[in-house]
Structure 1
């Protein structure tokens, strides 16, 4: 059975999420000039959690009090924040952001496989797999030959950074499937609980491993970047994340990682005057074709089963 096409509203949310998350790689590069990757992650999830608790209080909502739900939120926080944020941030100390973007774009590949194994309604189909592979190849073409060459860098530091990026992508895929268990919660409650759980896990880890409490104190620029990545690229982004997950499923949700480089490209063109190269246009076309294949709309256009009247 083919994938059910997504509505225009869901696609709009996915594009918006890609724009929001697209800035996180750039902000991470800035933040890492003033603090370690684990401290970065702690600040990111902690500030985001505080921001969402304020929203919870204003709206008069409350978080669940049952222990098993909080275990689920802690697990979701580990899979969706603690593990991938830490691995990808650490990886970016050894590889550049272009390579990190390509590795992050493998998330839908892992999502297709993980969803096939652990779900009943998101099974692997040929169009879906072909579409994801086409999309990942399109990301590589869009970002350019330098990043593709970087993928073949087998120096120990670069190789470890690439492995960290792939492990982070796998963790995101597992989180997308696990997060289906939280679909009974509102996006605000789910995001707040997950980020609170992430903060509880990250504070002792960062204090023991990197000891930011011992100083030196980060400068104003890294602190401003942490605040931005926390409130916009994390708190607001996860409100969108859980809304899309409830409406479109794990595999479709994680297509956003294919669109993040496209968003970064157009943002750079619009605000920084960066040129859009022929390679970029080819890559965008490949990503678009891949998204259509995964969505299922293309297959519905190419193959329309004939209807027959039954007795």
Structure 2
């Protein structure tokens, strides 16, 4: 049985969602640096392994102790597989063959999958027409903002299916993660348990398939990127993720995948002196319109009632 969540997010939830989008938007930069010297699965293994260390340090400082119930650790293992191992690996493999812009667009289908999965599995997150319109509008905004990569050759279909499968896995992860609130596990311990389980899988897998030779040759910049990816884009991000999941629900939480591309572009404008084009402004407008429809409070009350 799941506890009820609020279908409408308040100022705190929207602020946390924006912060999460910035942290995950920054992960594209960190991965872009690290992938120059390290193979993909090694990056994923280091990301979850170091994130686990960081989260357990925070938990111990706060006086939190690891749960002992086997069912909780089984839930951590399942969540780690669904929300980290499968999607991280699929996305990294997919991006070795298709453009990052196309991968971002495909990953932004996560809220669409989440609306369907949550409607089927959660009694308190049924889709409304207004929310469906908002998700589709926001996704169109992502496509407009990033644009389809120009290429004389069509992108291979298998990597694209891999990114879509990752988005579907994230959707199931968001729905499955709702159970940690009923188990009484604090967000920090939930985050720590999930990435620990992921690390126990990914570390031996990466060593077996890719070896450890590249680690010795990695430079300071690469290790700095790995630490940023692990501690900020994973440890801190997942604390926010599970706090939002407990209060706002899976459907609202995974709207972050619509905001991540916008955050990444805006970070480039603010800190890298990049220019924001008219098309990107239009995409931002569509994303904002979609998010407002999903939230519902700025729309006429009669539309909300009809939905």
Pair in the same fold by TM > 0.5: yes
- Determine whether 1:181 maps to 2:179: yes
CA distance in 1, matches of 2:92, 2:249: 26
Superposed displacement of residue 300, structure 1: 4.8
CA distance in 2, matches of 1:53, 1:64: 12
Aligned twin of 1:192: 192
CA distance in 2, matches of 1:266, 1:289: 17
Q: Is the 8 A contact 2:8 2:248 kept in 1?
A: no
Aligned twin of 1:26: 29
Q: Is the 8 A contact 2:20 2:256 kept in 1?
A: yes
- Determine whether 1:221 maps to 2:238: no
Superposed displacement of residue 228, structure 1: 0.7
CA distance in 2, matches of 1:29, 1:209: 21
CA distance in 2, matches of 1:249, 1:215: 39
CA distance in 2, matches of 1:26, 1:99: 16
SS at match of 1:249: helix
Aligned twin of 2:3: none
- 1:149-208 Cα shifts (integer Å, max 9, x gaps): 46x95343xx33222211111111110000001112111110011111111111121122
Q: Is the 8 A contact 1:28 1:89 kept in 2?
A: no
Superposed displacement of residue 304, structure 1: 7.1
CA distance in 2, matches of 1:102, 1:74: 28
Q: Is the 8 A contact 2:54 2:231 kept in 1?
A: yes
Aligned twin of 2:158: 160
SS at match of 2:178: helix
* Dislocated runs of 4+, deviation >4 Å: 213-216
Aligned positions, number: 299
Aligned twin of 2:43: 40
Aligned twin of 2:289: 289
Superposed displacement of residue 139, structure 1: 0.4
Question: For residues 1-311 of structure 1, what are the structure 2 equivalents within 5 Å?
Answer: 4-144=7-147, 146-147=148-149, 149=150, 154-156=154-156, 159-183=157-181, 184-212=184-212, 217-303=217-303
- 1:111-169 Cα shifts (integer Å, max 9, x gaps): 0011011111111221111111111110010112x43x46x95343xx33222211111
Shift of the 304–167 alpha-carbon distance from structure 1 to 2, 3 Å rule, reads closer
**Which runs of 5 or more residues in structure 1 are unaligned?**
307-311
**Which runs of 5 or more residues in structure 2 are unaligned?**
1-5
RMSD: 2.0
CA distance in 1, matches of 2:198, 2:96: 22
CA distance in 1, matches of 2:161, 2:284: 26
CA distance in 2, matches of 1:48, 1:169: 22
CA distance in 2, matches of 1:228, 1:19: 13
Shift of the 64–276 alpha-carbon distance from structure 1 to 2, 3 Å rule, reads same
Shift of the 286–66 alpha-carbon distance from structure 1 to 2, 3 Å rule, reads same
Shift of the 207–155 alpha-carbon distance from structure 1 to 2, 3 Å rule, reads same
CA distance in 1, matches of 2:209, 2:43: 13
Stretch moving more, 124-133 or 215-224: 215-224
Shift of the 99–132 alpha-carbon distance from structure 1 to 2, 3 Å rule, reads same
